[in-house]
Amino acid sequence: MKRVTIYDVANEANVSLATVSRVINGLEIVREDTRIRVNQAIEKLGYKPNAIAQGLALQKTTSIALLIPEASFSYTGQIINGLLDVAKIYKYNITLHTTSEAIIQIGDIIENIIKSRVDGVIIYNDKLMVDELSALTKYQFPIVLVGNQMSSENIASVYVNLQKAMYELVSSYLEQGKTDIAIVQDRKNKYMVEQLILGASQAYEKKGLVFKNFIEIPREYRSSYTYLKEYFKTHKHELVIAHRDSQAMAVINAAAENDIKIPNDMEVVCVIDTKYNSMIRPQISSFAIPSYDLGAVAMRVMTKMLNQTAVDEKEIELSYLFTPRQSTK
């Protein structure tokens, strides 16, 4: 039987965790009707307050939890810098929490973070699927998502619309008569690749065409490079799009193994720009995404939510810029 938690009580009574804590601790600043509703929820659910729940103070801790997957460290440095700079201005402390591929239940992670007594949680996780994002709405707690688009009473988001970026990129190639475009599967970033496919499909549909070239990496292949080296023996596209720099490099190296010259025989675009895209030869064309601003804006939105200041827009879209390099014509 699932253990009843303070979060269940808050959801049942439709109040915040702080309000439940006030009632548990017998503070007099709670309205009587709210106190009755919370106590009824406690009785109905059979909730037994533990030391953690009773110690959940109402005073702000001025601590914000930042949750980032370990695998994302290589391209989240500027996001963290932007977040830290704004946090310093508003005198908030940031505690870093990481997830690994072995940890898959985002709800469990969030609950553990909230129990550690922070004022809010900022999440960067480009692997979250729609159902996982929807599950976050149950928390009566300020959450800001970086990179994913969604909002609710307690959730705001700051993101770059990669679906739109892909639509515009693919449309520009279709206008040139280049219809043989492929997207490489990224097992580590399923959600983001779905956004790329949606954008490409919309561009094809507008031209009365159907997008079909999704390069799926079979599970028996441990790396995309190993498979792509075989794939390019019998396939060649006008444009290949990869989500991450490592996959774009795998495309370029596998193409070279098959005497496919970049960009004369085949063009390559990497969606997420990193320093490595300009270090490899040929340099890889990619999208410049305002990573620093993603972190800075996310933290500013969090401060507004914590201070109960009106947030004009809870889904904040930032712009991007396509940066052509040597891998495209």
> What does the pLDDT profile of the chain (329 residues) look like in tens digits?
566 777 788 889 998 877 887 787 776 678 888 989 999 998 888 887 654 454 454 456 788 989 887 767 766 888 999 999 999 998 899 988 877 654 456 667 777 776 777 888 898 876 665 666 666 667 677 889 998 888 888 889 999 999 999 999 999 999 999 999 999 988 777 778 889 999 999 999 999 999 999 999 888 777 889 999 999 999 999 999 999 899 999 999 999 999 999 999 999 999 989 889 999 999 999 999 899 999 999 999 999 988 877 777 889 999 999 999 999 99
Phi, psi of 285 (to 5 degrees): -65, 140
- pTM reported for the whole predicted model: 0.74
Instruction: Please state which CATH number belongs to domain 162-288.
Output: 3.40.50.2300
Could you tell me if 92 and 64 are in contact, meaning their C-beta atoms sit under 8 angstroms apart?
Answer: yes
pLDDT at residue 134, as a whole number: 67
What is the predicted pLDDT for the residue at 55?
Answer: 45
pLDDT given at position 52: 45
How far is CA 124 from each of CA 75, 148, 149, 243, 297, rounded to the nearest angstrom?
A: 11, 8, 11, 16, 13
Of the candidates 313, 316, 312, which has an alpha carbon nearest to the alpha carbon of residue 296? 316
Q: Supply the pLDDT for residue 218.
A: 86
Q: Which amino acid is at 107?
A: G
Under CATH, domain 6-54 is a member of which superfamily? lambda repressor-like DNA-binding domains (1.10.260.40)
pLDDT attached to residue 196: 95
Tokens standing for residue 138: 């149950």
- 212: Cβ–Cβ under 8 A, 6 or more apart, which residues? none
* Domain locations in the chain as residue ranges: 6-54, 63-160+290-320, 162-288
Domains 6-54 and 162-288 share a fold: no
Quickly name the fold that domain 63-160+290-320 has.
Rossmann fold (3.40.50)
